[in-house]
Amino acid sequence: MSNDEGPDASSVRPLVVPAADGRIDGTAADGRIDGTAADGRIDGTAADGRIDGTAADGRIDGSAADDPFGVYVHVPFCSVRCGYCDFNTYTADELGEGATRASFADTAIAEVHRMAEAVGPRPVETVFFGGGTPTQLPAEDLVRILGAVDDTLGLAPGAEVTTEANPDSVDATGLRILREGGFTRISFGVQSAVRHVLATLERTHDPERVPQAVRWAREAGFDQLSIDLIYGTPGESLQDWEHTLDQAVALEPDHVSAYALIVEDGTAFARKVRRGEVTMPDDDETAEKYLLADERLGAAGLGWYELSNWARDESAHCRHNLLYWRSDDWWGIGPGAHSHVAGRRWWNVKHPAAYAGRLAAGRSPELDAEVVDDATQRMEQVMLRSRLREGVPTSLVASRGSALADLERRGLVDVDLDRVVLTLEGRLLADAVVRDLT
Ligand SMILES: C[S@@+](CC[C@H](N)C(=O)[O-])C[C@H]1O[C@@H](n2cnc3c(N)ncnc32)[C@H](O)[C@@H]1O
Ligand code: SF4
């Protein structure tokens, strides 16, 4: 999956493994859903800030105010770019003229105001700050952006407010400011507990940093703590992965995401693979690591609720990601961020300078949009919802009847009343099974 500005076809991998796109399955961290057909695509930018499909006063019609609504904030800064990552993020050297970290909060808040004009007061159930590395910004800036969302749309009672963080981009004081400022959940990019694996991934933290960051987060009062892991890094043995899982469990997280490393075109890592400097594991090894993750996390009381996500119980599920997986509404603030409201999707200009320039000129940062037709919507719902433990309603599944019975006979799905749910075997072959269901 690339991180360009428009929807692209998902890379369908032959065998294996839970859509290992490294982020939210089927959805990029900027809220973009992959694998969507580009039918209904509307070219051109609403340069006057008016959103196609909205009423003339700029308000979006057609979405019920009581449907769940989330806000994603994309913070496009990192201290160093990890070789495998193609997210829309910039180091200080890469950023260039026209955008600064210091001005980001005010720019993002300008988009928050545009959002409020378009959707009106609508309680926000979830806010997710992702990146990039949100915690590259001062905690006060993140709290200010969150405050603007609360002041305009209003946070729903008990709203989930998450930030992603790198273990070496936080300190005790910053975490306290975030918690006191309304953040309820933190997601640390741990990836591995093994030094040589972190080195291959070009991560900047060492394994010892992780328990310290987790301790600070707990002391600050974060009672929802998630960690991201990656498996299948070249050179990672089964024992290395086992060690990472053991260390992860020892941190007593409420939630774990574990994704297979994906080779993204155009990254430094992809060039190393092409030159033969590193070798990716085969599908069987990757599947074995998935099974090990499911077993170890399960034994520690973390149950799967989505192919690549495990949680202590239902209260620890990531409500924001569930909103993507269930095709609810969200607005993406920030450069390159994607939005989906009332069946319309749009995405912002990608570069932080172009994003800041548009908003400073009083224009919409939207680059392009599409309206999702019913057939595409159904297909996407099957793709995303069949990855959930709650399953996909049989009414949405195209292959009702014999094809479905065949998947059931082969032990790849369970059909339970009106839901189709992947079995463990089915989870290992998720891409292929989901293709059969769409
Ligand atoms: C884009 S990062 C943002 C948060 C933070 N900067 C971090 O690295 O943890 C979110 C997650 O995506 C993962 N990710 C990025 N590129 C990936 C890839 N090619 N394969 C698997 N995971 C990937 C990262 O490792 C991280 O856990
Ligand atoms: S720190 Fe996170 S967002 Fe930044 S380059 Fe690494 S994986 Fe990508």
Map out the domains of the chain as residue ranges.
Answer: 41-371, 375-437
Does residue 404 line the site of ligand 2, with CB under 6 A? no
Q: Is the pLDDT of residue 1 over 60?
A: no
| Per-residue model confidence (pLDDT) at position 121 | 83
Does residue 87 line the site of ligand 2, with CB under 6 A? yes
Residue type (1 letter), 356: A
Per the CB < 8 A criterion, the answer to whether 28 and 316 are in contact is no
Q: What is the mean pLDDT of residues 380-408?
A: 88
Does residue 132 line the site of ligand 2, with CB under 6 A? yes
Residue to mutate (ligand 1; options 11, 21, 23; most atoms within 8 A of CB):
23
Residue 165 Cα: closest atom of ligand 1: 5
Go through 246-270 and write b for each residue having 16 or more CB atoms within 10 A of its CB, e for each that does not. Answer: ebbbebebbbbbbbbbbbbeebebb
Q: Is the pLDDT of residue 427 over 80?
A: yes
Residues 76 and 154: their CA atoms lie apart, in Å, by: 25
Confidence of residue 400 (pLDDT cuts 50, 70, 90): low
Residue to mutate (ligand 2; options 23, 84, 85; most atoms within 8 A of CB):
85
Task: Kindly report the protein residue whose alpha carbon is nearest to atom 8 of ligand 2.
Answer: 85
| Per-residue model confidence (pLDDT) at position 61 | 57
Residue 166 Cα: closest atom of ligand 2: 1
**Do you find a cis peptide bond into 132, omega within 30 degrees of 0?**
yes
Confidence of residue 19 (pLDDT cuts 50, 70, 90): very low
Does residue 228 line the site of ligand 1, with CB under 6 A? yes
Per the CB < 8 A criterion, the answer to whether 59 and 122 are in contact is no
| Per-residue model confidence (pLDDT) at position 63 | 54
Of the listed ranges 44-48, 97-101, 220-224, the least confidently predicted one is: 44-48
Better pLDDT: 93 or 170: 170
Confidence of residue 167 (pLDDT cuts 50, 70, 90): very high
Does residue 3 line the site of ligand 2, with CB under 6 A? no
Q: Is the pLDDT of residue 196 over 70?
A: yes
Confidence of residue 16 (pLDDT cuts 50, 70, 90): very low
| Per-residue model confidence (pLDDT) at position 398 | 73
pLDDT in tens, 230-241: 999 999 999 999
| Per-residue model confidence (pLDDT) at position 401 | 72
Task: Kindly report the protein residue whose alpha carbon is nearest to atom 2 of ligand 2.
Answer: 132
Query: pTM, whole model, 2 decimals?
Result: 0.89
Superfamily of domain 41-371: tm_1862 like domain (3.80.30.20)
Q: What is the mean pLDDT of residues 194-198?
A: 98
| Per-residue model confidence (pLDDT) at position 134 | 98
Residue to mutate (ligand 1; options 10, 25, 85, 163; most atoms within 8 A of CB):
85
Does residue 169 line the site of ligand 2, with CB under 6 A? no
DSSP secondary structure of 123-161: -EEEEEEEES-GGGS-HHHHHHHHHHHHHHT-EEEEEEE
Tokens read off for 161: 């407010």
Residues of the chain with pLDDT > 90: what percent?
A: 76
DSSP secondary structure of 205-248: --TTHHHHHHHHHHHHT--EEEEEEEE--TT--HHHHHHHHHHH
Q: How far is the CA of 22 from the centre of ligand 1 (A)?
A: 6
| Per-residue model confidence (pLDDT) at position 46 | 30
Q: Is the pLDDT of residue 294 over 60?
A: yes
Q: What is the mean pLDDT of residues 223-249?
A: 98
Task: Kindly report the protein residue whose alpha carbon is nearest to atom 17 of ligand 1.
Answer: 22
Q: How far is the CA of 168 from the centre of ligand 2 (A)?
A: 12
Return mean pLDDT, the chain.
87
Residues 110 and 362: their CA atoms lie apart, in Å, by: 9
pLDDT in tens, 296-347: 999 999 999 999 999 999 999 999 999 999 999 999 999 999 999 988 999 9
Residues 136 and 130: their CA atoms lie apart, in Å, by: 11
Q: How far is the CA of 187 from the centre of ligand 2 (A)?
A: 13
Residues of the chain with pLDDT > 70: what percent?
A: 84
pLDDT in tens, 28-81: 434 333 332 222 222 222 323 333 334 444 556 555 556 899 999 999 999 999
Supply angle C-alpha 165, 171, 177, rounded to 5.
85
